[in-house]
Amino acid sequence: MKIINVKTENSYNVYIGRGILSKAGEYARVISGAVRAVIISDSNVAPIYAERVERALKKNGFETSLFVFEAGEERKRLSTIEQMYNHFFDNDITRSDIVIALGGGVVGDMAGFAAASYLRGIDFIQIPTSLLAQVDSSVGGKTGVDLPFGKNLVGAFKQPKAVLIDPDTLFTLPKKFFNDGMGEVIKYGCIRSKTLFERLENENAEDFIDDIIYECISIKSNVVENDALDKGERAILNFGHTFGHALEKLFDYSGITHGEAVGLGAYLITDITEKKGITEAGTSKRIYNLLKKYNMTTATEFSVSDILKATRGDKKSSGKGISFIFLKDIGECFIHRIENSDIKEFFKQQ
């Protein structure tokens, strides 16, 4: 068992351990005196894990109910949140009860937002079952949903009471979910850990997945502790995301996964900055090779111009510009703000 304490305004622990899923009720009872627990999951995860978590919760005195929605980024909408509210009301959920987010990043984002907004706030626990959620989205307190014109444009900061990570869940889900999460893993190597990046190049990620989860969460928790409300340093976690979110929009949130979009966005932006002499030569090729190694998307039919147009409404925009995250080299990044009037010229292809 590995434990990372995230020191935000309301500190909480991230527990990483194989088999922890079956002990979820014990951890939840230590954290919460709630009578009722609502498990929120999706149609991919619930059939595999919901019964086990529900049994663990009941064993520790919780009255449980289960809300399951159809899996997919396209379900990450306010209409699904409203259905969650209806479930809360029908099951007499009060402020003293608790929400359990059981699933990947979409589940965690939406369950967290529902918990943050219903009755002005209910406690919740993250139980991430995908690699993407385990290394990134389950920690940090960002919750939310998409709007038709942009990703994660409605949401709230809501730190979980705890995060329970069971690496065993990664090997019972389809391979595509593991590959999806590798986009975020590669991102962490790019921005803060040359050692992690080199291990990904030289070893098989599945062989040291516990170390990967621990290092990614350690990096993120350190950044979040310094900037819980995303006003400064936390922006570096968006490396690859400005182009990535634009690609998701261009694919109508169904033709490319989030992790693939982030990985491809990281490669495309680095290819540009490398050509401009901002990034160490050869860096984009190393990112490309990792994407290829882990069976991720390495190219798109959309042009840089198409992608830039799709960044309109990106939540990293502020005032009259966008803050992009660039690499100096693997493991070293910086924030570079470009005014809207200069973006087209900066990204002009030679």
State the Cα–Cα distance between residues 316 and 241, nearest whole angstrom: 9
Predicted local confidence at residue 221, as pLDDT: 93
Confidence check: pLDDT of 260 > 50: yes
| Chain segment 40-95, per-residue pLDDT in tens | 999 999 999 999 999 999 999 999 999 999 998 889 999 999 999 999 999 999 99
The strand pairing partners of 142, in sequence order, are 157
pLDDT at 350 over 50: no
* Residue 58 Cα distances to 61, 67, 69, 347, angstroms: 5, 16, 22, 56
Query: What is the distance between the alpha carbons of residues 84 and 68, in angstroms, rounded to a whole number?
Result: 9
**What residue type is 115 in one-letter code?**
A
Rounded to whole angstroms, the Cα distance separating 134 from 186 reads: 14
Summarised one tens digit per residue, pLDDT across range 85-141 is 999 999 999 999 999 999 999 999 999 999 999 999 999 999 999 999 999 999 989
Can you list the domains of the chain with their CATH numbers?
A: 2-171 (3.40.50.1970), 180-346 (1.20.1090.10)
Of 207 and 311, the structure prediction assigns the larger pLDDT to 207
Instruction: Compare 173 and 159 and report the one with higher pLDDT.
Output: 159
Q: Average per-residue pLDDT in the chain?
A: 93
Residue 312, pLDDT score: 74
Provide the token pair at 94. 């009060």
Residues 43, 121: Cα–Cα separation, whole Å: 26
